[in-house]
A = this chain, B = another copy of it.
Amino acid sequence: MFKAPYLLFLGDAPDRLAAKMAQGIYDWRPESAVGQFRMKDCNVDLGITDLSIQDAVAAGAKTLVIGIVNRGGVISESWKSVLIEALEAGMDIASGLHNLLRDEPDLVAAAEKAGQKLYDVRVPSIQYPIANGKKRSGKRCLAVGTDCSVGKMYTTLSMHREMKKCGMNATFRATGQTGILIEGDGVPLDAVIADFMAGSIEWLTPDNAEDHWDLIEGQGSLFHASYSGVTTALIHGGQPDALILCHEPTREHMRGLPEYQLPPLEALRDLSLRMATIVNPDCKVIGISINTQHMEEAEAMAYLNKVEKEMGLPTIDPFRQGPSRLIEALTCV
């Protein structure tokens, strides 16, 4: 979609949380970031070179990526002069903010004049097809969760990185705005029109080499009343050969739904597999990824061991331990 390498724009980010988009890109694609641009009241430092717009272009930057999320997701007026300078200097701009670049007339005019592009990754840029359900070549792995935001993206990104390191043939397939900003491409599934959801995922994960794996970023949860339709479309459009179950064990209720408890991993396994086998009878659940960030090391290890014994599947925290055991399991599919 948009071109690497990037200049990561941190603007006037007050803290690390506000700069989490930039941090995500730098964590997962350090080779794509030529440097950072910080305005004078920025309180965050990613630890890479500070570059002016002109220096960034000289260093080869093709796209300025807005790596800051402020309250309300708006494009601050104070950023405008920098953004316009970047367009004039020959960079495109990419953003995942609610406030779309295309809705800012001054940016649209500057981009047009400079012959540069504005990429709003939060909204679909193409008309996706309706899914046809046909079997595609190559292999696909999808992360599914007991809830939203339990580590599905982290799991697939870490698997992808490790697979590339081992020389395996794999692609990370982003389905949400952070993932798209990291990968530079993908489908903003939550913004796709209902009829085209599964088709957009078929489009995202086309025929491929027999040894190729798509690592598909999960969204929502089959058990989450607000977003389960999105998850279903992801399973049926993605036609996974392998499923990874993702879970965050300290959460007290489903995200945003105080009346709902998280389902047990057994329930996630059974329902996800039931849905997946409708489109791929050979699909298997191959492992479990647990987000233990709110547990002490000893507690986390004990929990991982307990789940592994109960479920009979490789169970790891990819942040603590790396994803190697999931990849081993994948190679047996």
Q: Which chain A residues have a beta carbon within 8 Å of chain B's beta carbons? A: 130-135, 189-195, 197-199, 222-223, 225-234, 236-237, 254, 256-257, 259-260, 263, 271, 274-275, 278-279
Interface residue from B198, B230, B256 paired with A226 (Cβ < 8 Å): B198
A260: chain B residues at CB < 8 Å are 133
Whether A133 and B225, one on each chain, are in contact in the complex, defined by CB atoms closer than 8 angstroms, is yes
A259: chain B residues at CB < 8 Å are 133-135
A257: chain B residues at CB < 8 Å are 132-133
Whether B233 and A228, one on each chain, are in contact in the complex, defined by CB atoms closer than 8 angstroms, is yes
A227: chain B residues at CB < 8 Å are 195, 198
Interface residue from B131, B189, B256 paired with A225 (Cβ < 8 Å): B131
Q: A193-B193, A223-B278 are in contact. Are A229 and B132 (CB under 8 A)?
A: no
Given contacts A132-B256, A228-B233, 12 further A-B contacts (CB under 8 A): A130-B256, A133-B257, A190-B194, A190-B195, A192-B193, A194-B229, A194-B230, A195-B230, A197-B229, A225-B236, A228-B232, A271-B275
A195: chain B residues at CB < 8 Å are 190-191, 226-227, 230
A95 to chain B, nearest CB (A): 19
A259 to B256, CA, bound (A): 39
Listed by A's residue number, 17 A-B pairs whose Cβ atoms lie within 8 Å are: A132-B225, A132-B257, A135-B259, A190-B193, A191-B194, A191-B195, A192-B193, A194-B229, A197-B230, A228-B232, A228-B236, A228-B275, A229-B230, A229-B233, A229-B234, A232-B232, A271-B274
A89 to chain B, nearest CB (A): 35
A279: chain B residues at CB < 8 Å are 225
A132 to B227, CA, bound (A): 10
A271 to B229, CA, bound (A): 14
A198: chain B residues at CB < 8 Å are 225-229
A199: chain B residues at CB < 8 Å are 226
The 8 closest A-B pairs by CB, nearest first: A229-B233, A133-B225, A232-B232, A131-B226, A229-B229, A190-B195, A229-B232, A225-B236
A329 to B225, CA, bound (A): 27
A230: chain B residues at CB < 8 Å are 194-195, 197, 229
A210 to chain B, nearest CB (A): 20
Interface-central residue, A190, A197, A271, by most chain B CB under 10 Å: A197
